[in-house]
Structure 1
């Protein structure tokens, strides 16, 4: 039973020699390319192209009824987005050049080194996947809606940057290319990995492992497994996580902590698509999609020589960056309510009222632990609540009191000999500071200032008009 069909589109093999079709199909399936259709009669190509999801055609050049060049010309006219690779029994340079001019992706002779043909096939598949991803991404951007919003139900946000990331994730979820998820600790990178796996529709499982601190030998054994007798104590064969994740997703967390020696093994796995269990000389094909995550800046690690440049470029084929909580403060009220509901349910408590000032006060805090830290705080607060209102005592140490102005100690707000600003100027400065602290979110800034959102919006409009007028006067 096949775990998963690859690539996502079908590969059509066209050749009048039945024996060659069988041989080529077997070769491709051994290499993991199992989404195949064969055709020995070129007259059937139009109906196959119309009814099947074909993205790549391997086309014989010399056929008795219709020449491969005529089929190529028809394909490029009717299906210009489909890649065509010519495989000929004769090495003719002029013909090869003419086919490429007609739009063929590549040209190979049947007697060529098999690895050359496979490499050309991989390049064509990659090109086609990028084309499909770009089309999907363009469609997502234009629609500004999610196709499967339920997949993101566990990620609580109203932030537009996050929703843009969601649309991007939808467009890349079904490919087999690796995905790099970056973001600070606690932003929810594992949640994103789960979403990518769910949207991929892969029948296999999601297998997760944190590679931080894993040495080279343990890394190889963990990912690739080992053969019986590979080392002392290896009394039976052990399957690695790559094999356990077959047909699904292998999620490697904290990839930035991987040793250089282990990075070489991971790079080879991604490049070759095969691996050797420890103590075995028989390679196995990788049938899992790789998703990695890190809280570190891989570009900086690469510049410092701590992360391989070639692996970095291989991993960043698809990149998803999750912003920290302090950059999406509008999510604070949503997350507070969400975590409070979860905590009350787990602790068998009735739902609690959240003070309106809580999200405003918490917006002054940087949240180095992001949503994970907020969740822990909310759970602690719920556990300490003895009335119908959320106990805010656990949050008190976070509120930034150092910047509060202590008028009782006659703090000087301005240099003693400088002119005082007008009350109007002071109001403008206060509004600017509130907008800065609220990361330009008007609703949150209005709550900080103790005014309504429409009043703040009007104030901002007047400030903008006055600023424009002053520039014009000068």
Structure 2
């Protein structure tokens, strides 16, 4: 099977406008050698208007001094007809007044001939990024008043009806087609990889979705895993081996647990993100890849970079698009649907009938913080099904498991710790009235249960009806 040809980049072409053929050819070759493969050469400035009218263009590289139609006139035409289109002036006119005039007329940048590719390439990349960010902002603005994502089928594997999650889906849709990195943060078990896969599915990229967990990888293994190696690079390297970056060409590369990456590996990743190029281990031949990088971590990267544990330049490069996935305790309205989904999965796996859930089970689960998030709820549902007998799930199992889990997370809540030798009331210099104590206990129970009255009643050891009556008396 032959090596697959990566799709052209950028999706819309870069228009090169110059009256000198050798200049057009040298620009084209230089750009293609750095991964920018989609270009149009235009030697006759009179053809520019027709090209722009007949097809979308990503950016323009424009000479000033040309016969027939000058670069100044083309720049004015572009600003009037296509104001969102970045124009980079590439000219031999070394005059401050001319440069200032071009910038005032709306040029994105002004580069002097003879052109060094190291000077021109960053300008082109910035222009491409600006174009993409404008598209994403436009998509976000157009979806601002929408409640549901435009492509709900992509998120069908993520069970939710939560408004925060739906807003997150809409943001994913807005940034999915871009080329910039995406940073996904959130606690363990919230479903970060599911979000990463959804972004890839929405992107329209035809290449593979490739994943790797980088936690625990030393610098050499990280470089070998991502960038591959040449024959003879180290003992045992008896042939060339492609890395995951090459495998993900035209697709997406998902790096999980990016917060655990060593500093030398951070430098290598930063170079790849900025230059879109890399060297396999043991090779001096540069390779290019258009793989879109998506990263995830449960760590607080902002805090890590402030402490010097994570490179500041890489941190800001990664967080061009940042998605914070909320923990389950902040979307408890999803618990009933998630539990139903996981019980159905477990029933199929264990070849049992799906049981009925008692009403008080949802109340019990809503009062628990789920430090392991959705993954913990799934494990609990499967464990419950493995023990289940009969038509209705037994509450005793859940009481036992949640009590045990709470003690593991916070041993200070064990009965031996929360029942001191002396009554807790002895700490009051002046005892509150029963009415005041009643109000304070109810308020605290509601706070701890996120104002879920069924859960608050369970905490207080009374029925929801009794709690409702007390609240009415307080009103």
Q: Same fold (TM over 0.5)?
A: yes
- After superposition, what is the alpha-carbon deviation per residue over 1:402-457, rounded to whole angstroms, capped at 9, x for unaligned? 699x99x99777959535243xx6775565345423434678769988558xx979
Moved more, 392-401 or 167-176: 392-401
CA distance in 2, matches of 1:348, 1:59: 68
The equivalences for 1:72-221 within 5 A come to: 72-221=75-224
| Aligned match of 2:431 | 418
SS at match of 1:436: helix
SS at match of 2:144: helix
8 A contact 1:3–1:246 mirrored in 2: yes
| Aligned match of 1:255 | 258
Residue 438 and residue 18 in structure 1: after superposition, are their counterparts in 2 closer, same or farther (change >3 A)?
A: farther
Q: Unpaired segments of 5 or more residues in structure 2?
A: 408-412
CA distance in 1, matches of 2:242, 2:344: 41
| Aligned match of 1:471 | none
Moved more, 318-327 or 87-96: 87-96
Q: Unpaired segments of 5 or more residues in structure 1?
A: 467-474
SS at match of 1:243: helix
Residue 437 (structure 1) aligned with residue 440 (structure 2): no
Residue 320 (structure 1) aligned with residue 320 (structure 2): no
8 A contact 2:147–2:163 mirrored in 1: no
8 A contact 2:210–2:254 mirrored in 1: yes
Residue 338 (structure 1) aligned with residue 351 (structure 2): no
SS at match of 2:145: helix
Name the count of aligned residue pairs: 457
SS at match of 2:66: coil
8 A contact 1:10–1:52 mirrored in 2: no
| Aligned match of 1:360 | 363
8 A contact 1:25–1:36 mirrored in 2: yes
The equivalences for 1:2-41 within 5 A come to: 2-41=5-44
CA distance in 1, matches of 2:433, 2:458: 27
CA distance in 1, matches of 2:368, 2:147: 32
CA distance in 2, matches of 1:51, 1:262: 45
- After superposition, what is the alpha-carbon deviation per residue over 1:335-355, rounded to whole angstroms, capped at 9, x for unaligned? 111111111122222222111
SS at match of 1:351: coil
Residue 350 (structure 1) aligned with residue 353 (structure 2): yes
Quote the RMSD (CA, aligned, Å).
2.9
SS at match of 1:141: coil
SS at match of 1:57: strand
- After superposition, what is the alpha-carbon deviation per residue over 1:291-349, rounded to whole angstroms, capped at 9, x for unaligned? 11111111222222221111111111111111111121111111111111111122222
User: Structure 1 length normalisation: TM-score?
Assistant: 0.88
Residue 442 and residue 199 in structure 1: after superposition, are their counterparts in 2 closer, same or farther (change >3 A)?
A: farther
CA distance in 2, matches of 1:281, 1:269: 15
- After superposition, what is the alpha-carbon deviation per residue over 1:89-144, rounded to whole angstroms, capped at 9, x for unaligned? 43333222211110101112231212111111111112222222222222222333
